[in-house]
Structure 1
Amino acid sequence: MRQGTFKWMKSMNKSIILNKIRKDGPISRAQIARETNLTPPTVSSNVKELIEEKIVEESDIGQSQGGRKPTMLVINNQAFSIIGVDAGPENIECIVADLAGNVLKRSKTKLQLPITNQEFIAALKSSIKKVLETDKQVVGIGVAMHGVVEVETGTSLYAPNLGLSNIPIKQQLEQAFGLEVKVENDARAMALGEYWFGDHGELESMLAVNIGSGVGAGLIIEGKLYHGASDIAGEIGHMTIDLHGETCECGNRGCLQTFVTGPAIARKAPGNHLLTAENVFEQAISGNEECAAILKASGRAMGVGLTNLIHIVNPEKIVLGGGVSKAEKFILPAIRETIRTSALTPAASQTTVEVSKLGDDATLIGAITLLLVDIFEVK
């Protein structure tokens, strides 16, 4: 199989069959036909091609239902690999993962700031080259980028934490590596990774919130990532919480991210302005009540923002990720209590809010999922 994309070998029927095997495998050809309403010959011919492409393989013999034991089908997760990139704002992290999301190799490169567009692209290419050596064929590269991303062209329109704009990430990386490249906002990529690999069960809707040096969110509706009319859906960090609050870097007052990000927490630290949000958390754990109060206040502000979002989109579940989410001991109870007392209805107040189980890899796993959607989902 050639490197690049699976688009050239896919059809609607193949997509249906692949996704069925991914979700329900090991599964027989007969069961696929029954549960997808495809004819047995259609299933057989497409499965034959998928086996030849090595993305599907035959597994253990299934149980007999009165006749010959059926041969079961599974995804050959180890046959191909995907490169995932979490691009900035302080480091570029890369992983190589298989089709099941298992990480096979990783690298981390610290960015030298300030940085130009050309230097940032060069750093991306260098980081990817560190993990590209693999004995598996590479499906493509997924890039999770903070800020505003034009998804169709794979362009970073505005990366505020780097002070950059109009970075042609997709075009430059495809030219350099000859692979399919998908570029997405980091919080939306994280949401997709959570939906696929976060062990959340069958959900129709989910909101994933990334709280770190900024605040972003990704919304899944009916299993699909929602982008909005101009690719800015999820920029919840700039939701106004206090009309008379601190001035945000965007120029508005009282944005959510002036309350809950790592830098915002650090600014509120008592006395020593050299403290980081991590230091505030460590001191809170050690019994510093003032530091604990800062984190709880951030949790209440986050709870206000999430209550607003519950009232607008009413997701089944909210998942929190990013560095600040590690302070869940202090922020999570405050978030839940704020939602409980502020939500419009008892049902809304019971919206599940939890911290990601994917941890520091949540965004990277989301980056590889950008390619998995291309392979498995029915368009």
Structure 2
Amino acid sequence: MIVSRTKRGTNLEDVQEMNRSLVIQLMRRRVVCSRAELTQASGLNQSTITHIINELISWGLVVETGIIDGKKGRRSIGIKLHCEPYKIVGVRLARKSITVALYDLAGVEYDKRQISIHTMDGSMKALKRMKELIAEMIESNQAGKVIAIGVVTPGPLFRNEGRIALMTDFPGWETINIQADLMNDFGIPTYIEHDAKAGALAHWWLGEPHQERGVMIYVAAGQGVGAGIVVDGKVYRGALGMAGEIGHMSIDYKGPQCECGSKGCLELYCSTSALLKTLNKEHASLASVWQEVQEGRGGKAEEAVRQASWFLGFGLVNIVNTFNPDRIILGDELSAAGSLLLETVQSVLDQHVLPDVSGKLAVELAADDSDPMLAGAAIVAIDSIVAQPSSFLQQHRS
């Protein structure tokens, strides 16, 4: 039997919320604008824009800036988003650390703190330390109010259930519903996302030049390997929220056993954890590996990084053929290999992808001065708030 899903209608309240969200998104990309600009950019009529802006002003999210010059010498009252009163706590859980930062609704970072965690201490102790860091960050907030928490984790992640399915090298997290636990403790909306998906969303929101359309893939090659896929500004998550879990894509069915139960998983060949295992007699830390690579001595470290980069590129061939992206961003710890990583991955793609495809594909390194997955933790929450602004902002009006 074929069961069809009935498409639900859209009521007036939904339309109004969609229009608010659209206006906030348009203003987010502009430092200062006018109501007339928003009318033209949105396609909404002038009275609708006026009503929405008046609402947002009453909520404290929009402020007037004074007279500005418009097109053809016309003058109008400037408006801009006032994001400082609304704060978000972003949390990044990794296998060896927890990082917590405070952001406003525009994604501006105010404070950041990090602690180390260890497998031997167990997941419950790590969760307790995470809560302590979040509490400290909320307490340190000097202006406005924290209205949401965003958490990003390694995967595989059952996003719809709020829990990690498997964290390789750090068991125990699969029994914890992180999302529900934090919501119960702090009493504010909490969102959870796979770290690579959050990193992808951060690049889409904050990256330059700003991308409006297309398919962008952010590859987080660190202690594990994952990918975030963004299509026209929306993260592709799949049925259970696990889309992009490329670290557990097998590239050798006769390869070594992975903790997920499969063999030859990609992250066994090109994660930084795998890289350090390969170099365990020569290098005890990634810093030592990167130093040797940067010095260009051509030793075992350089060869091991080149090999890991080749495997990553080989895995990305499958991703390119599946999703046909126009942009791939290489991020997380392995991106510190710089040009060696980029050139190796590009070479593999050029050799194994159709020339007409690889020739139109931009491959680049993530900026090395930020942590997009940490920023993405906040942006995951911000994205949800912007999608339903009245549910969050009206109750916190200044």
TM over 0.5: yes
- How much does 1:41 deviate? 1.6
Deviations 1:6-49 (A, max 9, x none): x99x8222112111211234221122123322222221121111
Aligned to 1:3: none
Q: Deviations over 1:90-117 (max 9, x none)?
A: 1110000122222111111222433445
Q: Does 1:39 align with 2:45?
A: yes
Cα gap change, 1:73 to 1:358, in 2 (>3 Å): farther
Please state whether the residue corresponding to 1:159 is helix, strand or coil. coil
Please give the per-residue CA displacement for 1:281-313, whole angstroms capped at 9, x wherever unaligned.
Answer: 322333142221111111111111111111110
Corresponding residue number in structure 1 for 2:59: 53
Q: Distance in 2 between matches of 1:24 and 1:208?
A: 25
Residue 294 (structure 1) aligned to one of 284, 301, 304: 304
**What residue in structure 1 maps to residue 228 of structure 2?**
218
**Can you list the C-alpha shifts for 1:220-242, whole angstroms capped at 9, x where unaligned?**
01210011122211110112223
Moved more, 199-208 or 308-317: 199-208
Structure 2: where are the runs of 5+ without partners?
1-12, 390-398
The aligned runs of 1:126-165 (5 Å cut-off) are 126-132=132-138, 133-134=140-141, 135-164=143-172, 165=174
Q: Which amino acid aligns with 2:133?
A: S
Q: CA deviation at 1:141?
A: 0.6
What is residue 175 of structure 2 aligned with on the other side? 166
* CA distance in 2 between partners of 1:292 and 1:326 (Å): 12
| 1:109-143 alpha-carbon deviations (Å, 9 max, x no partner) | 22243344532331221010121121221121100
Secondary structure, aligned partner of 2:239:
coil
Amino acid paired to 2:169: N
Corresponding position of 1:23: 29
Q: Quick one: which amino acid aligns to residue 176 of structure 2?
A: I
**Is residue 372 of structure 1 aligned with residue 361 of structure 2?**
no
Find the aligned partners of 1:281 and 1:299 in 2 and give their Cα distance: 14
**Which residue of structure 1 lines up, in the alignment, with residue 357 of structure 2?**
347
Report what 2:395 is aligned to.
none
Give the equivalent residue in structure 1 for 2:6.
Answer: none
Q: Deviations over 1:243-267 (max 9, x none)?
A: 3333333333322112111121122
Q: Report if the CA contact (8 A) 2:62-2:81 is conserved.
A: yes
* TM-score normalised according to structure 2 size: 0.86
**Structure 2 CA distance for partners of 1:258 and 1:113, relative to 1, 3 Å:** closer
SS state at 1:147 partner: coil
Equivalent-residue separation in structure 1 for 2:284 and 2:157 (angstroms): 32
The CA deviation at 1:81 is 1.5
Aligned counterparts of 2:130 and 2:353: Cα–Cα separation in 1:
43
More displaced 10-residue stretch of structure 1: 220-229 or 280-289: 280-289
Deviation at 1:68, TM superposition (A): 6.0
Structure 2 counterparts to residues 315-354 of structure 1, below 5 A: 315-354=325-364
* Counterpart position of 1:4: none
Which residue of structure 1 aligns with residue 86 of structure 2?
80
Q: Tell me the distance in 2 between the aligned counterparts of 1:74 and 1:99.
A: 13
Q: Which amino acid aligns with 2:76?
A: P
**Which of residues 156, 180, 191 is equivalent to 1:182?**
191
Please state how far the C-alpha of 1:181 moved relative to its aligned partner: 0.5
Q: Which runs of 5+ in 1 are unaligned?
A: 1-6
- Residues in 2 aligned to 1:362 and 1:34: alpha-carbon distance in whole angstroms: 32
* TM-score, structure 1 as length reference: 0.91
Per the alignment, in what secondary structure is the counterpart of residue 82 of structure 1?
strand
**Whole-Å Cα distance in 2 between the matches of residues 240 and 27 of structure 1?**
50
Q: What letter is aligned with 2:230?
A: I
Deviation at 1:65, TM superposition (A): 4.8
- The alignment covers a number of residue pairs equal to 371
2:108 aligned with 1:108, yes or no?
no
Relative to 1, partners in 2 of residues 1:113 and 1:240: Cα closer, same or farther, differing over 3 Å?
A: closer
Q: Distance in 1 between matches of 2:72 and 2:335?
A: 53
The CA distance in 2 between the partners of 1:77 and 1:254, in whole Å, is 46
CA distance in 1, matches of 2:381, 2:145: 14
- In structure 1, the partner of 2:284 is 275
Compared CA separation, residues 38 and 350, structure 1 to 2 (3 A): closer
User: Structure 2: how far apart are the matches of 1:66 and 1:197?
Assistant: 31
Measured in 2, the distance between the counterparts of 1:347 and 1:321 equals 22
Contact 2:159–2:242 (CA<8 Å) still a contact in 1?
A: no
Deviation at 1:274, TM superposition (A): 5.6
Q: How far apart in 1 are the matches of 2:322 and 2:314? A: 13
- Give 1:60 shift: 4.1
Shift of 1:159: 2.7
| SS state at 2:119 partner | coil
Q: Is 1:247–2:257 an aligned residue pair?
A: yes
Contact 1:107-1:130 at 8 Å conserved across structures = no
Q: Distance in 1 between matches of 2:307 and 2:340?
A: 9
SS at match of 2:166: strand
Residue matched to 1:256: 266
SS in 2 for 1:101: coil
Distance 2:305 2:70 in 1: 58
SS in 2 for 1:376: helix
C-alpha deviation, 1:349, in angstroms? 4.2
